[in-house]
Amino acid sequence: MKKEDSILMASDMNDYFNKKKSESGGFKKSSGGSGSGGNGPKGPNMPNIDFNFGGGKAGLMYFIIAVVLMLVIAKPFTIIEEGQRGILSTNGKYQDQALLPGLHFIIPVIQKVYVVDTKVRIINYASRIEATSNNSGIVTKPAITVLDKRGLPVNIELTVQYRLNSQFAAQTISNWGFSWEDKIISPVVRDVVRNVVGKYEAESLPQERNTIANAIENRIRESVSGLKNSPAVLQSVQLREIVLPQKVKEQIERVQLAKQEVQRAEQEVQRAKQEALKRAAEARGVAEKARIEAQGKADAVTIEAQAKAKANLLISKSLTTKLLQLEQIKVQGKFNEALQTNKDAKIFLTPGGSTPNIWVDMKDPQKRSSAR
């Protein structure tokens, strides 16, 4: 028997004996013999036993202690922290509205509170499984295997961030249970990824990465938000890696190398074209330079000829008969002076007496022979 039960029993006995004592005026040992007069020899009196244990104050204290112990054991209250909601169950039936953070009193045995987390949670779909704690809110699951348009297996690694919709937390737990994540998030993510990626060929997935990532996030968001009472709020979906089969990787590498070779050949052709254009431009420059120089010389000759012709024209226009006669007289005078010093010289007059006349020095044998 527990100490508390013994104390309560002793208190009850104490109350009983006090009641009897007040009724009979105390407990006394009756005199010997069977008579009722009490004239028999007196025996020793029975000792007065006090079961009060300190009076009524001690009993009240014991009562308070018992109540406190009952409250501690039964725990008729619960505390909901921030980032959590409480699902109140009364006789197995969930209340429609979740309990907000704070202190809440419940009826022990009849009512029970289930605490659910409404903070952001993360699911990592990865090829390499890493151990994580459930309390951290991060769960790692295998990468999603998808068959491409031709049936080749492709692994998709992504991260999904979501949280329980606190407004409809009670309805979500009532409809989906406490394993609602495995029933809502994971099936939707895997189904959407397979439908989106399955439309492409494995070789084209790296080039279409951004388009695929946007399509996956939009369709997952539509699927989750389209459920009744919007059980979850999707934060983000991040496409981390597209793991291709080894044969596809090798084929992509060969295609990339071929493209690089084609680009290199095109660059060489472009470089050769540029060199040819450069040489042609230089040749055109040299030819243009020569043409310009020739043109300059021709223009110079033309200008000079035109100048001479113009000068001759001016001279011819300025010549008159009297001016010619005057010039002839001047030349004739010079010839006369020359004949005075060189008597062997000969003078040939041009027909019509035009000026100048021809002078031949006969002393020079070469001139003399040519004159003959």
User: At 146, which helix (H) or strand (E)?
Assistant: strand 144-147
In three-state secondary structure terms, 145 is strand
The per-residue pLDDT for 357 is: 57
The per-residue pLDDT for 284 is: 85
d(CA 149, CA 132): 35
The per-residue pLDDT for 110 is: 85
- Of 36-45, 46-55, 193-202, 307-316, the range with the highest mean pLDDT is 193-202
pTM score: 0.52
**Closest residue by Cα to residue 27 from 11, 10, 50:** 50
User: At 291, which helix (H) or strand (E)?
Assistant: helix 246-318
pLDDT (average), residues 337-362:
62
- Residue 31: pLDDT above 80? no
% of the chain residues with pLDDT over 70: 74
pLDDT (average), residues 189-211:
91
CATH topology of domain 121-244: Tetrahydropterin Synthase; Chain A (3.30.479)
The per-residue pLDDT for 132 is: 60
Q: How confident is the model at residue 365 (pLDDT cuts 50, 70, 90)?
A: low
Domain ranges of the chain: 3-29+45-74, 77-117, 121-244, 246-318, 321-371
- Residue 124: pLDDT above 90? yes
**Closest residue by Cα to residue 242 from 333, 149, 71, 125:** 125
Give strand pairing partners of 346. 360
% of the chain residues with pLDDT over 90: 19
pLDDT tens-place string over residues 59-112: 788 888 877 777 677 678 888 888 889 888 888 888 888 889 998 888 887 888
DSSP structure string for 41-78: PP-PPPP-----TT-HHHHHHHHHHHHHHHHHHH--EE
d(CA 293, CA 246): 69
Q: How confident is the model at residue 298 (pLDDT cuts 50, 70, 90)?
A: confident
Contacts of 203-210 spanning 24+ positions with Cβ under 8 A: 203/248, 203/251, 203/252, 203/255, 205/148, 205/154, 205/242, 205/244, 206/242, 206/244, 206/252, 209/239, 209/242
Average pLDDT, rounded, for the chain: 76
Residue 341: C-alpha distances to residues 14, 337, 345, 355, 363 (Å): 193, 7, 9, 22, 12
* 234-262 b/e (C-beta count within 10 Å ≥ 16 → b): beebebeebebeeebeeebeeeeeeeeee
Q: How confident is the model at residue 158 (pLDDT cuts 50, 70, 90)?
A: very high
Least confident piece of the model among 67-71, 72-76, 131-135, 341-345: 131-135
- Of 5-19, 97-111, 335-349, the range with the highest mean pLDDT is 97-111
Residue 124 near residue 140 (C-beta atoms within 8 A)? yes
